[in-house]
A and B are shown apart, each in its own frame.
Chain A
C-alpha cells in the first residue's frame, strides 16, 4: 500500500514535470515561429470582401508552392473564403514542391518564384488536357538587404559593393568602398558577417540574378536557387536569416521586405539614379513596370530590369507567379480557381499587398493577367 502511494506520487510528479516542460517548450517554439509569419500585421480584412464575384465557385481547392508569397495568399484566402465559402489550402512548401505537385496533377494551381522551365512546360501537358501550364504574375516584392551595424542608420550600397560583401572580398564595415558611398556616416571598425540562405530558395535565385546582371565582373557565379559563393554565414528560410542578422552585430542579409522590422534597417541601393532608392512597395512596383513580358502565347512570365536607373525604382525585386493550365483545367475546380484568380488579380486583391510588405503588379501587366484569367478553360 505504502509502496503504491509512493509510486503514484512519483508518477504524479513526473507527469507534472512533463506537462510544465512541454508547456515551456511549446511556449519557446511559438515565440520562435512568431517572427516569421503574421507579424507583419493583419491586412484590412474587410477590403472589398463584398465585391468578390463567386460565380459557381464551390468545394475545396488545393494549392502549393512558393513560400515567398504565402503571406499574400493567406490574406487573399481569408477574404475569399469568407465571401464564397470555398476552402483553399495553400501549403507553401516551396516553389519546387509546388511545380512538382502541379505537373503531377495534385493541385489546382501552384505558386512559384520563377517561371516554368521548358521541361516543366512539357511535363504540364500531360496534366492540362489540350493545353499547357502558364505563368501569371500576381505578387511583386522587393528583396531588402537588412543590416545590423551599430551607429549606422542610412546605409547606401551599390551593386559592386554588395557583390564584394557577399563574396567575402570586403570584410570590414569601414572599408573605403563603403565609406565612399556613405559620406558622413560613422562606420565602425567591425567585421562584416554576410548571411545567405542555407536552403534552396527563389529569393537567393532573384538576388543573385540581380548581381549577375548588374556586376558580372564581381559576381562570377552561375546563379540558381542554391547559394554558390564561398564564405559567409547561412541560416534556413527568410525568417532564419532575419533572426540571425538581428542577433549578430555587424551582420547583413537578404530577405523579403516584410522581415525588415524590430530594429532591423534596410540598405538603400545606389542605382545610378539621382537619389539612392529604399525598398518599398512603390519602388518595387516602379521597377516591375519596366519589366518585359517574355512568355509566349498566354504565358505572361516577366523579364525584370535589374539594371534600371529610373528614379525611385528599386532594382532587387522578385515576382511570384500563379501557375495554372491555359486549357484543360479540371472541371470540378475550374470555377473556384477562376473566381479566386479573378479576385486576386482584381483591384481589391492587389490593393491589399502594400500593407503586408508586397508590391502590386503594375497596371499594364495585371490587365493582361485579367484577360488571360477570363480565357481559362
Chain B
C-alpha cells in the first residue's frame, strides 16, 4: 500500500481520503492489475458481442426463411425448400430429437452412474485405472466412426432384440415392429447412449471421489454395509453433480449429427413405435439437406438450427434450476 518507503525519513502519515479508502478496499491498482482487469473485461465483452452477432445472424436468416414458408413452421410434416412454393416444418425434428435423446439418457445415465460407482467404490485400485481409461477412449472415437460401426455392425445385430421386443411388448405400440430394417429411433438412441457414456461417467466419477471421507466413515461406524454407504452418503452428495454430468451428455445427444445421419432411416413422419424406421433429428436433417440446398433452403435449415439452439437453452436452464434447488442438500456446489 505504502509507495513512499524509499526515503529514510518516514514522511508524515498521509491522511487517506474517502476515495482512496474505497480504492484500497477494492484492492491494489498497480499496472499489472489494471492490464489484467482490462483484458478479462475485454474478453467478457468480446464473448457477449460474438454471441449477440450469432444470435442476430441466426434470427435474421431464420426470419427471412420463415416469412416465405408456405406452411406452418411448427406443425408441418414436410421439408421441401427447393420448389416454387417451399414448405417446411420442424414438428418431426423436434419429436425425433427429443425421443432419441431421451432414449439415450434412459440407457446411458444408470449405466454411467454404475460404472462411476464401480470405479470409485468397488473396483480394486489396480483395476479402476484401466477401466476409467477405456471409458475415456470411448470419448476419443470420432462420431463418423460411430456412425460407420452403427450402420455396419450394430444395425444388422439389432434384428434379434427388435423381434424379442415386438413379441413381448409389441402390444404397447411403442415396441411394435413391421420387420423393416432396424434403422430406427431405438437404434439411434442406443448408439447415442454409447457416445454420451464417457462424459457422464467421467464427471460422475470425479464427483463421487469428492465425497468427504468422514461421511463414509461415519456411515460405516454406524454399521452400514457398503451399499448402504453408497446409498446414504455417496449418492445424495453426488446427485447434483450427476445431474450436471447428464446435462453435458444430453447436450451431445441433442446435437449429434453424423452418427445419426448414418444410422437412422430418416423420413418426414412421426412413428409411434421406436422400432419402425422414420423420423429425424435437427442435426441429421441439416447435415443431409445442406449440400443440395439453395440459398433459401439454407436459411430454412438455419431456422431449424435456431430452434435446436433454443431447445438446448431450455434444457440447460431447467437443469440449472434443478441443481440450484438441490444445492442445499449437497456439498458439491459449496
A residues with a Cβ closer than 8 A to B are: 25, 28-29, 32, 93-97, 99-100, 191, 193, 196, 198-202, 205, 222-228, 230-236, 244, 247-248, 251
A97 contacts B148, CB within 8 Å? no
Given contacts A25-B145, A32-B148, A234-B266, contact A228 B78 (CB under 8 A): yes
B181 contacts A236, CB within 8 Å? no
B261 contacts A200, CB within 8 Å? no
Indicate with 1 or 0, residue by residue over B244-269, a CB within 8 angstroms of chain A CB atoms.
00000000000000000110011111
Interface class of chain B by DSSP: loop
A233 contacts B82, CB within 8 Å? no
A222 contacts B295, CB within 8 Å? no
A231 contacts B267, CB within 8 Å? yes
In the docked arrangement, what's the CA distance between A226 and B77, Å?
A: 13
Which residues from A are CB-within-8-Å of B288?
Answer: 198-200, 236
Can you list 26 residue pairs at the A/B interface with Cβ under 8 Å?
A25-B148, A29-B148, A94-B291, A94-B292, A95-B292, A96-B292, A96-B293, A96-B294, A96-B297, A99-B294, A100-B294, A191-B179, A198-B266, A200-B288, A200-B291, A222-B85, A230-B77, A230-B267, A231-B267, A233-B181, A233-B183, A233-B265, A234-B265, A234-B267, A235-B265, A244-B181
Which residues from B are CB-within-8-Å of A29?
Answer: 148
Q: Give the nearest-CB partner of A251 in chain B.
A: B181
A193 contacts B293, CB within 8 Å? no
Given contacts A191-B178, A233-B180, contact A225 B267 (CB under 8 A): no
Which residues from A are CB-within-8-Å of B209?
Answer: none
A227 contacts B267, CB within 8 Å? yes
Which residues from B are CB-within-8-Å of A95?
Answer: 292
B292 contacts A201, CB within 8 Å? yes
| Interface assignment of B320: CB less than 8 Å from any CB of chain A | no
Enumerate B260-301 residues with CB–CB distance to A below 8 Å: 261-262, 265-269, 277-278, 288-289, 291-295, 297
In the docked arrangement, what's the CA distance between A293 and B291, Å?
A: 28
In the docked arrangement, what's the CA distance between A228 and B92, Å?
A: 13
Q: Give the nearest-CB partner of B277 in chain A.
A: A233
In the docked arrangement, what's the CA distance between A95 and B181, Å?
A: 30
Which residues from A are CB-within-8-Å of B82?
Answer: 96, 200, 205, 224-226
Which residues from B are CB-within-8-Å of A248?
Answer: 181
Which residues from A are CB-within-8-Å of B152?
Answer: 28, 32
| Interface assignment of B59: CB less than 8 Å from any CB of chain A | no
A223 contacts B83, CB within 8 Å? yes
| Interface assignment of B317: CB less than 8 Å from any CB of chain A | no
In the docked arrangement, what's the CA distance between A113 and B189, Å?
A: 36
Q: Distance (Å) between the CB of A178 and the closest chain B CB? A: 18
| Interface assignment of B79: CB less than 8 Å from any CB of chain A | yes
In the docked arrangement, what's the CA distance between A121 and B81, Å?
A: 19
Q: Distance (Å) between the CB of B85 and the closest chain A CB? A: 7
Q: Distance (Å) between the CB of A205 and the closest chain B CB? A: 8
Which residues from A are CB-within-8-Å of B145?
Answer: 25
Q: Distance (Å) between the CB of B184 and the closest chain A CB? A: 10
Which residues from B are CB-within-8-Å of A247?
Answer: 156, 181
Which residues from B are CB-within-8-Å of A200?
Answer: 82, 288-289, 291-293, 297
| Interface assignment of B80: CB less than 8 Å from any CB of chain A | yes
Which residues from B are CB-within-8-Å of A191?
Answer: 178-180
Which residues from B are CB-within-8-Å of A234?
Answer: 265-267, 277
Known contacts A29-B148, A96-B291, A231-B269; 13 further A-B pairs (Cβ under 8 A): A93-B291, A94-B292, A96-B82, A96-B292, A199-B289, A199-B292, A202-B292, A222-B83, A228-B80, A230-B77, A233-B180, A233-B181, A247-B181
Q: Distance (Å) between the CB of B40 and the closest chain A CB? A: 38
CB-CB nearest 4 A-B residue pairs: A200-B292, A224-B83, A96-B292, A233-B265
B81 contacts A226, CB within 8 Å? yes
B80 contacts A224, CB within 8 Å? yes
Given contacts A198-B266, A200-B82, A231-B267, contact A225 B292 (CB under 8 A): yes
A97 contacts B180, CB within 8 Å? no
Q: Give the nearest-CB partner of B83 in chain A.
A: A224
Enumerate B2-25 residues with CB–CB distance to A below 8 Å: none
Most buried by A among B291, B292, B293, B295: B292
In the docked arrangement, what's the CA distance between A99 and B298, Å?
A: 14
Given contacts A100-B294, A193-B180, A244-B181, contact A226 B277 (CB under 8 A): no
Indicate with 1 or 0, residue by residue over B44-86, a CB within 8 angstroms of chain A CB atoms.
0000000000000000000000000000000001111111010
In the docked arrangement, what's the CA distance between A232 and B266, Å?
A: 9
Which residues from A are CB-within-8-Å of B277?
Answer: 233-234
Indicate with 1 or 0, residue by residue over B134-160, a CB within 8 angstroms of chain A CB atoms.
000000000001001000100010000
Q: Give the nearest-CB partner of A123 in chain B.
A: B295
A233 contacts B267, CB within 8 Å? yes
Indicate with 1 or 0, residue by residue over B155-188, a CB within 8 angstroms of chain A CB atoms.
0100000000000000000000011110100000
Which residues from B are CB-within-8-Å of A228?
Answer: 78, 80, 268
Which residues from A are CB-within-8-Å of B79?
Answer: 226
In the docked arrangement, what's the CA distance between A222 and B81, Å?
A: 12
Which residues from A are CB-within-8-Å of B297?
Answer: 96, 200
Q: Give the nearest-CB partner of A224 in chain B.
A: B83
In the docked arrangement, what's the CA distance between A244 and B181, Å?
A: 9
Which residues from A are CB-within-8-Å of B183?
Answer: 233
Which residues from A are CB-within-8-Å of B269?
Answer: 230-231
Which residues from B are CB-within-8-Å of A100?
Answer: 294-295
Which residues from A are CB-within-8-Å of B292?
Answer: 94-97, 199-202, 225
B291 contacts A199, CB within 8 Å? yes
Which residues from B are CB-within-8-Å of A93?
Answer: 291
In the docked arrangement, what's the CA distance between A73 and B180, Å?
A: 37
Q: Give the nearest-CB partner of A200 in chain B.
A: B292
In the docked arrangement, what's the CA distance between A250 and B145, Å?
A: 28
B80 contacts A226, CB within 8 Å? yes
